[in-house]
Amino acid sequence: MAERGRSGVSKNKHDFSELWPIAERLAEAARVETLKHFRAFDLTADSKAADFDPVTIADRNAEAAMRAILQDLRPNDGILGEEFGITEGTSGLTWVLDPIDGTRGYISGTPTWGVLIALSDAKGPILGVIDQPYIGERFLGGGGRAEVTGPQGTNRLGVRRTIDLNAATLFTTFPEVGNASEGAAFRRVAEQVRLTRYGCDCYAYALLAAGQIDLVIEAELAAYDIQAPIAVIEAAGGIVTDWEGGSVHQGGRAIAAATPELHKAAMAVLT
């Protein structure tokens, strides 16, 4: 039940009983479009940048499908999507969509890419979905939910209680981790943890929320890369900030940690 103030008016202005079914409908639509082309022999990828930033028909079609649902069901909400940019809204809510986070993995046939869906208000993400269509796993966080559904049924999300760097498992996507100084900072942390792994894109954040790993450190993120993971990890009891401990809702350099103690220890080495 939503908390009520002295006036009797609910302090929780968001109706999650309405919003969650829409978020899951978006995820279902994106599953259909991404699985149509995953591991197809004739799949081609265009590059959005000179240094090969791939995009496929699956990226575009999945975002278009989600936008069509929102236009029908939530026409007053804003949309920020990786492929088609910003659609302004009037409701104060914005859907933040990454139709395939990890397109490099997608075109390589690995199952660690995902669909990212967040809903944000002026303060940041209020719910998030990390969906892996091929595995059939969906990680949900926010609005009273912190759960994963998949081949092993439905289970509660919850971070590990690791507090020491030397006991932690650390993930990032690219070994370079941003520019030279950012990469050097990451390696200082990597030298102190128990295990470092690479290449999982958004799936690493899902693993942190599920209590399988302890840290994710990345740089050069966009808002659509990080808002859904923020909501999922925070719902699971973890913490996500920028490298200075501030908000990372708009992207940049992110550190996600299972516990405040681990977060503080990693930041002390990063900065």
Residue 59: inside a domain: yes
pLDDT tens per residue across span 163-180: 999 999 999 999 999 999
CATH number of 174's domain: 3.40.190.80
Percent of the chain with pLDDT over 70: 95
Q: What is the mean pLDDT of the chain?
A: 94
**Is the domain of 51 the same as that of 145?**
yes
83 & 144 share domain = yes
Rounded to whole angstroms, the Cα distance separating 267 from 237 reads 18
Which pLDDT belongs to residue 53? 80
Tokens of 212: 């399988």
- pLDDT tens for 219-253 read 999 999 999 999 999 999 999 999 999 999 999 99
Number of domains in the chain: 2
Provide the whole-model pTM: 0.93
Q: Does residue 22 sit in the same domain as residue 152?
A: yes
- Note whether residue 175 is domain-resident: yes
pLDDT at 6: 31
Are 72 and 204 within one domain?
no
Same domain, 138 and 170: no
- Residue 122 corresponds to which tokens in the numbers above? 């002026």
pLDDT average, residue stretch 18-45:
97
CATH of the domain at 113: 3.30.540.10
Q: Are residues 197 and 106 in the same domain?
A: no
Per-residue pLDDT of 94-138, as tens digits, reads 999 999 999 999 999 999 999 999 999 999 999 999 999 999 999
Adjacent-strand bridge partners of 257:
215, 239
Of 156, 186, 210, which residue sits at a domain end? 156
Q: Domain check: are 124 and 23 in the same one?
A: yes
Q: What is the mean pLDDT of residues 198-208?
A: 97
100 and 211 within one domain: no
The CA distance from 192 to 250, in Å, is 29
Residue 121 belongs to some domain of the structure? yes
**10 occurs within a structural domain:** no
206 within a domain of the structure (yes/no): yes
Residue 1 domain-assigned?
A: no
- Of 132, 156, 180, at which residue does a domain stop? 156
pLDDT digits (tens, 9 = 90+) for 84-103: 999 999 999 999 999 999 99
Residues 133 and 197 in one domain: no
Contacts of 122 (CB under 8 A, 6+ apart): 92
Q: Which domain holds residue 85?
A: 16-156
Arithmetic mean of pLDDT, 154-162 = 98
- 114 within a domain of the structure (yes/no): yes
What is the DSSP track for 100-162?
A: EETHHHHHHT-S--EEEEEEEETTEEEEEEEEETTTTEEEEEETTEEEEEETTEEEE------
Q: Are residues 140 and 177 in the same domain?
A: no
| Span of 6-15, 71-80, 85-94 with lowest mean pLDDT | 6-15
247 lies in the same domain as 125: no
3 is a domain residue: no
